[in-house]
Amino acid sequence: MFEFKITSKNNRARTGIFSTPHGELTTPVFAPVGTQATVKTLTPEHLKDINASLVLSNTYHLYLRPGDELVRDMGGLHNFMQWHRPMLTDSGGFQVFSLAQTRKVDEDGVTFKSHIDGSTHRFTPEKSIVIQENLGADIIMAFDECADPNDHAYIKKAMERTHRWAERSLKAKTRLDQALFGIVQGGVDPTLRAESATFIASLDTPGIAIGGLSVGETKQEMHDMLDVVTPLLPENKPRYLMGVGTPEDLINGVLRGVDIFDCVLPTRLARHHSAFVPEGRLNLMNASFSRDERPIDPTCDCYACRTFTRAYVRHLIVAKELLAGTLISIHNLRALIRLMESIRSYIADGSFETRAPELLSQWSNNAKRIKHEG
């Protein structure tokens, strides 16, 4: 279990197969986010239809509601939400630092107040592992401390603590059917990132996560950090870039040797009427689409694009019908999953590095073109 087999390489980019208790994960892969044990507005059937493989869910949210013990007693997350392909849970670390009302960190853990009802709770590395074992995802994360990226002294302290917490997480783990990943931190400091990558790589884990990026740094800083980190990681472990990202970020991440991504962006944008198309982001509420008989993206094979016009989707948005969010979510997720499918085939046939500049300009450069068209 948890063997990672690299099936093709194209410089630092690689395709692989990661074996999990719920099936083989073909990488590079983009994971839709099901924060509260549901990818917002979609059924598991919709997710299968867009060829989703890995789904992420959030430890912090599920611990608070409905409770990890309830999920365990209902047969675990896979049964609870009826997703029988691979799942991943984060450690709760990022949410404690970004969502909880107040928090107090000490060497042992974090005491925080729930963003839902203000009640007081405490996470430690050991507690995070107990919760994640109750939830039962295939891939779980070590508990980490997420520091303010602009506070250098804190970044270093938080990174060192994250290393100690990774060791404690690993020690606390009891289930053999879950892969625990340590998390590389270190802000945007190359020296700290290198130190963190080296330490986390030294732990006996089947995979490695890269945290603390996509939190406000520039694209260049993200690329620089990946350029420091991935060369220091072992080849034979999958690398998971947490909370990333946009289509450009996925292309840039794969170019730098990343295998797993997740992001709420596709579904969050969908609820704000914004659709990924190769030319940029389409705001489907725009009046210019009111009589547009084309699908959201004429090149897309998803249910929404196979079935409905932009005119209909725009009507649903204007009429405040929730089906709009469902349809655009289906499309946006499929767009990223389809992008990953293309990337995998390009890596396999050796053309990914050559095609990357064109792919990047296609996906990052055309917001203007769309505006002119409207």
Q: Tokens for 18, please give them.
A: 């990661």
Shortest spacing between CB 114 and a second copy, in angstroms: 13
Residues with catalytic roles = 90, 262
CA distances from residue 113 to 98, 103, 151, 315 in whole angstroms, order as listed: 12, 7, 23, 41
CB 178 within 8 A of CB 140: yes
290, 345, 351, 354: residue in contact with a second copy (rule CB under 8 A): 290
Confirm or reject binding of residue 92 to a second copy (CB under 8 A). Answer: no
Confirm or reject binding of residue 76 to a second copy (CB under 8 A). Answer: no
List the interface residues with a second copy, window 53-72 (CB under 8 A). 61, 65-66, 70
25, 55, 81, 277: residue in contact with a second copy (rule CB under 8 A): 81
Rounded CA separation 21/336 (Å):
25
Shortest spacing between CB 33 and a second copy, in angstroms: 13
Judged by beta carbon, residue 82 or residue 101, the one nearer a second copy is 82
97, 143, 261, 308: residue in contact with a second copy (rule CB under 8 A): 308
Shortest spacing between CB 204 and a second copy, in angstroms: 35
Confirm or reject binding of residue 147 to a second copy (CB under 8 A). Answer: no
227 burial (CB, 10 Å; 0-12 / 13-18 / 19+) is middle
Confirm or reject binding of residue 117 to a second copy (CB under 8 A). Answer: no
Task: Give the residues lining the site for a second copy (CB under 8 A).
Answer: 36-38, 40-45, 61, 65-66, 70, 73-74, 80-82, 290-291, 293, 303, 307-309, 311-312, 314-316, 318-319, 321-323, 325-327
